[in-house]
Structure 1
Amino acid sequence: MCELLAMSANTPTDLCFSFTGLTRRGGDTGPHKDGWGVAFYEGKGVRAFHDSDASANSRIAEVVQTHPIKSEVAVCHIRQANVGEICLANTHPFMRELWGRYWVFAHNGQISGFRPGQGFYEPVGSTDSESLFCDILNHLRVHCNRDTPTEEIIERLVTLSQAYAREGVFNLLLSNGDWLFTYCSTKMASITRRAPFGPARLKDADVIVDFESETTPDDVVSVIVTEPLTTDETWDVYRPGEWRLWRKGEVIMKGPAGPG
């Protein structure tokens, strides 16, 4: 399986600490060596990096770890291939435009034999993940518009996610730059850091950061992952079927396990 990482913050924040921990799992402390990618929203724009090599050995990943790109929403993925060859076209996160915004998607899991219905969006690569993303956007494009209330869009995303999860494993990160939608099929956890801030130590690298020296008292930064990245913090573990909608570091909507 792959691993996911996302951030939602109320102020532009860099992801260097968490990204450093995640990249070690891409071919060093973990088996997810079949490519990686990260997308940072900057206003309505997106700064994205992808590599089909293992993140633990990637010079591009090293640049991202050491260059503090600040964003309010970021989506990351390290891949352990199960559907589709190892190549750049199959590397998450995937991105498409809808209603004048870039939508970014990353998926952990597998739905064998999934084929999207015909529509405006088509996959470029050969992964079930990208096909699922196209299916989601085609559904929204047909049934919603740019003025559709967020609540209605999220209701449709929850319904789609529950349907996909009945067919296989579907852990999801999806953002349009304004909000971040997360759905847990099997495994996901989050942590929200706010004042008073303290230090934290990574599980996968000998790195400690003192968040108090890196933040202001008003900062709220939430990190969502497949597996907790630190050893000395308490992470909030999702239940299977649970979803949460994040904006500016806070959960603004959430739902319990679905009916299955």
Structure 2
Amino acid sequence: MCELLGMSANVPTDIVFSFTGLVERGGVTGPHKDGWGITFYDGKGCRSFKDPLPSCESQVANLIKSYPIKSEVVISHIRQANRGEVNLENTHPFTRELWGTNWCYAHNGQLSDYEEALATSRFKPIGQTDSELAFCWLLDLLAQEFDEMPQDTSLIFEFIRKHADKLRSFGVFNMLLTNGDYLIAYCSNNLSWITRRAPFGKATLIDTDVVIDFHKETTPNDIVTVIATRPLTNNEDWHIMKEGECVMFKLGEVMHQHIPQEVTAK
């Protein structure tokens, strides 16, 4: 399986600390050696860096660790290939234009017997992965349902959540999806998040010997949410998402959250 990393913040923030932990899972503390990618938003624009090499060996990944690009929304992914060759076109995150906005997406998991159900028209995959096809299918449905981004964010949240439920019926579907404004996290089996706000403290990475004192790196008004497949630190309380749980974040805060009742009742 692959691993995901996302960030939603109320001020431009660098993700170097979390990304440093993720990179180690790309061949050092984890088996995810089949490429990696990261996308940063800057207003309506976004910049993506991808490499089919393992993140632990990638000079591009070293650049990201040493060059703190600041953004309010970030999506990153390290790949353990199960469908499609190990090459650049199959490397996440994937991006497409919809309603004059860059949409970015990454998926962790594997789908089966999905090809006929996920037929697309407007959006077509470039690579061979089930992940990119699912992204194109979701965007197709969004374009058919809405002429533009709805002002009521609950409409798009519920629409994406329900169709993510359908994708989960084909297998494992953990997802991060954003238009640079809102960030949606959907959990099939492994996804977690943490919101950091004042008073800030120290955090220690699980995968490498790195400690950061967020109090020295932030202001009292900063709010930063980090989403990861598995918690990245060992001295903080992460929210472990349930099967079928979906959350929409904006500026680091939870806007909408759905936890299936049958999961809550357990």
Shorter-chain TM-score tier: over 0.9
Q: Deviations over 1:87-131 (max 9, x none)?
A: 000000000000010000000001124222131100000000000
Cross-structure match for 1:179: 182
Residue 204 in 1 paired to residue 207 in 2? yes
- Contact in 1 for aligned 2:46/2:102 (Cα 8 Å): yes
Cα distance in structure 2, aligned partners of 1:53 and 1:258: 41
Cross-structure match for 2:11: 11
- Contact in 2 for aligned 1:96/1:102 (Cα 8 Å): yes
Cross-structure match for 1:146: 148
Equivalent runs, 1:64-213 vs 2, <5 Å: 64-115=64-115, 116-148=118-150, 149-213=152-216
Cα distance in structure 2, aligned partners of 1:259 and 1:152: 23
- Contact in 2 for aligned 1:241/1:257 (Cα 8 Å): yes
Cα distance in structure 1, aligned partners of 2:242 and 2:22: 22
Cα distance in structure 2, aligned partners of 1:257 and 1:106: 23
Cross-structure match for 1:63: 63
Q: Deviations over 1:207-247 (max 9, x none)?
A: 11110000000000000000000111111111111110000
Could you tell me which amino acid in structure 1 is paired with residue 142 of structure 2?
L
CA gap 1:12/1:109 in 2 versus in 1, 3 angstroms: same
- Contact in 2 for aligned 1:162/1:258 (Cα 8 Å): no
Give the TM-score, by structure 2 length: 0.96
> SS of the residue aligned with 1:167?
coil
Q: Deviations over 1:73-100 (max 9, x none)?
A: 0000000000111000000000000001
- Contact in 2 for aligned 1:33/1:78 (Cα 8 Å): yes
Displacement of 1:156: 1.0
221-230 vs 150-159, which moves further: 150-159
Could you tell me which amino acid in structure 1 is paired with residue 195 of structure 2?
T
Cα distance in structure 1, aligned partners of 2:113 and 2:53: 26
Cα distance in structure 1, aligned partners of 2:81 and 2:243: 23
Cα distance in structure 2, aligned partners of 1:257 and 1:20: 33
Cα distance in structure 2, aligned partners of 1:147 and 1:34: 34
> SS of the residue aligned with 2:195?
strand
Cα distance in structure 2, aligned partners of 1:200 and 1:118: 43
Cα distance in structure 2, aligned partners of 1:193 and 1:103: 25
Equivalent runs, 1:46-61 vs 2, <5 Å: 46-61=46-61
246-255 vs 145-154, which moves further: 145-154
Q: What stretches of structure 2 of length at least 5 have no aligned partner?
A: none
Task: Give the count of matched residue pairs.
Answer: 260
Could you tell me which amino acid in structure 2 is paired with residue 227 of structure 1?
R
